[in-house]
Amino acid sequence: MWTLYKKEIRSFLGSLIAYIVIGVYLVLTGLFLWFVDGNNVFDLGIASLQVMFDIAPYILIFLVSAITMKSIADEKRLGTLEILTTKPISDIFIILAKFMASITLIAFALLLTTIYAYTIQNLSNPIGNVDWGAMLGSYLGLLLLSACYTSIGLFSSSITDNQIVALLSSMVISFFFYSVLSMLGDVSWLDSIGRSLSWFGLEFHYNSISRGVVDTRDVIYFGGFTAVFLGFTQLVFESRKW
């Protein structure tokens, strides 16, 4: 599994997609945080990264989908999946290795944004007057959210041998679970049903963890969500056997 993980990381480093995607992520979050009129740090006058944490889940949908689109679809297209699956390694470890490699890359992108956190800390008055709890919670939230997106991305990549199809389906499924479900909570005629449905959405739990309160229920939700989609991916892997 370690071997496959290393190969995946290498193939990220060797492909332009990883650099472009990380670059786009940094530029977009940077723009929203510092420059976009009306909502940036200077306009709000609050030393917090809240703007970035509000926008990041949407940018991550694109980022994660772009990173994961290739991982299984391309192995199918090339036929190398037959080589991988006839080596002494179980299907689930192939999936896990690819999952870990993608998560590593995303965690790296998130890590780069801590430079914004450092800047904010120096801008605050008095210096250091920042809600670190909320910030750490938000970072943890983003990481857990990325794990969910990655599992969706791998699943989408496993159902096709076309990277574009994988990208689009991953974005649609991720958007559905992040945004659409939580919007249902605001539909008045759905009333309590809508609110229950929004509980199943990713945004509800992300917002909860972003406040800086790490509730085990949220962590379990994110972990379970990831496990379910990785399980779906394994089912697709095994469907060749039906």
Can you give the binding site for another protein, defined by CB under 8 A?
Answer: 2-4, 6-7, 10-11, 14-15, 78-80, 82-90, 240-241
Nearer to another protein, 12 or 206 (CB): 12
> Residue type at 17?
I
Nearest distance in Å: CB 179, another protein: 35
Nearest distance in Å: CB 10, another protein: 8
Nearer to another protein, 80 or 129 (CB): 80
Q: Residues near 224 by Cβ (< 8 Å), separated by ≥ 6?
A: none
Alpha carbon distances (Å) from 153 to 17, 36, 62, 149, 227 = 15, 30, 10, 6, 13
Nearest distance in Å: CB 81, another protein: 8
Q: What angle do CA 157, 161, 165 make, to 5 degrees?
A: 65
Nearer to another protein, 217 or 241 (CB): 241
> Residue type at 40?
N
Nearest distance in Å: CB 137, another protein: 38
Nearer to another protein, 61 or 66 (CB): 66
Rounded to an integer, what distance in angstroms lies between the CA atom of residue 237 and that of residue 95? 9
Nearest distance in Å: CB 5, another protein: 10
- Which residue in this structure is represented by tokens 């229920």? 217
Nearer to another protein, 75 or 218 (CB): 75
Rounded to an integer, what distance in angstroms lies between the CA atom of residue 44 and that of residue 42? 5
Nearer to another protein, 7 or 231 (CB): 7
Question: Phi and psi for 87 in degrees, rounded to 5?
Answer: -90, 160
CA 11 from chain centre, in angstroms, equals: 19
Rounded to an integer, what distance in angstroms lies between the CA atom of residue 133 and that of residue 171? 30
- Which residue in this structure is represented by tokens 């479900």? 181
